[in-house]
Structure 1
Amino acid sequence: MNQQQKTFRRIVTGHDAAGNAILISDAPPTHTQLVGGPGGPTFFEVWHTLETPALIYAQPVEPGENGLVLPPPKNGTRIRVIEFPPEGEEIQKLTGADAAAKFKSMGDEKASTSNEAAPHPLMHRTKTVDYGIVLEGEITLVLDKEEAIIRAGDIIVQNGTNHAWANRSGNICRMVFILIDGAFTDEVVHPKN
């Protein structure tokens, strides 16, 4: 199994005093966190904005946050890279309380929708539109009633649905996610049965 993490650069642009485009920084992301201990995913927090439309500063500074936060800020956006290791048996043995604790460590305990009838122990839902792009490897998108295998180059548009990610491939899967704060419409909050 290929478990070695690859580094990548986060290049941030801005403007000098004369209005010329310049590089502000060129380095790996400053905030990286392993979630759930060994065998869990690694989150690389790339950037987030605090509002839409996003304010464009001449000398942008990464907005501060305390710890890992799963969703984007209210009315904001977030971009992150996640490396999903192959899923082990420990994931399948998680209880609803265990899953809630994992999401709490990501700053969003209420996102967890895990229960005994769930198709995957790490099912969750956020009020976001997420663009997910598989950079390398493959992963299974688990929904309430179906699944899809997503491979390198594939793009997912995840519209606030209940879901989980299951890496059943035996190799690391690296994905980039762009998360946009959203709001559920009445038809999503009150579906017809």
Structure 2
Amino acid sequence: MNEQPNLFRRIVTGHDADGKAIIIPNLPPMTTQLIGGPGGPTFFEVWHTAETPALITAQPGAPDEDRLVLAPPGNGTRIRVIEFPPEGEEIRKLTGADALAKFKSMGNESASTSQAGAPHPLMHRTQTVDYGIVLEGEITMVLDRGETTLKAGDVIIQNGTNHAWANRSGKLCRMAFVLIDGRFSQEIAPTKK
């Protein structure tokens, strides 16, 4: 776990015994994990739901995961904040095996699509719709064919596409992501090899 201080708070609401809205006290802290050692991104796992529609209870407890899980639960959602440090040479030199190991540490090695000639060594694809909001800094989203740079305030809707994130700005980039479990249509489903 990374001991870096959280620079934002997670506030969770619920209901008291009279059905009145309250802030839930004393929840365990968010799971925070640095991926790949110094120079890698830090993940702050804020919350997830395990079903749709989400079950709304009077006194929600913190989600029951004690480790980083890349995708949301089946039929669920996940919100996380990721701090991307400036990308260094160590990222650009990653091999396919290195990339696979990084995604394995996030609980989803099958997400890695790294291969020789890929536009970025950390290309990956998940069966999710992701809403990404740049909170601070800037970052480049790299796709199979093209890329775009997002700045603070920009929102990306990532629809199960093969992609990677590259922070070429020289400064920290902080993004919030809402991940929604999905399924690929027949026309874009990965082919089995």
Q: TM-score range by the shorter chain?
A: over 0.9
Query: Structure 2 stretches of 5 or more lacking a match?
Result: none
Q: State the Cα distance separating 1:7 from its structure 2 match.
A: 1.3
Query: Structure 1 stretches of 5 or more lacking a match?
Result: none
1:125 aligns with 2:113: no
Equivalents in 1 of 2:16, 2:79: separation in Å?
Answer: 25
1:189 aligns with 2:184: no
Map 1:75-94 to 2 at 5 A: 75-94=75-94
Q: Give TM-score, length-normalised by structure 2.
A: 0.93
Deviations, residues 32-80 of structure 1 (Å, cap 9, x unaligned): 1101000000000000000000000000001211410000001000000
- Do the aligned partners of 2:34 and 2:42 also contact (CA within 8 Å) in 1? yes
Question: 1:84 is matched by which residue type in structure 2?
Answer: F
Distance 1:28 1:8, change over 3 A: farther
Give the aligned partner of residue 152 of structure 2. 152
Q: Give TM-score, length-normalised by structure 1.
A: 0.93
Q: State the Cα distance separating 1:117 from its structure 2 match.
A: 1.5
Q: State the Cα distance separating 1:189 from its structure 2 match.
A: 1.8
Give the aligned partner of residue 45 of structure 1. 45
- What is the number of equivalent residue pairs in this alignment? 188
**Structure 1 stretches of 4+ moved >6 Å:** none
Q: State the Cα distance separating 1:104 from its structure 2 match.
A: 0.2
Alignment identity in percent?
74
Equivalents in 1 of 2:63, 2:39: separation in Å?
Answer: 29
Compute the RMSD of aligned alpha carbons: 1.7
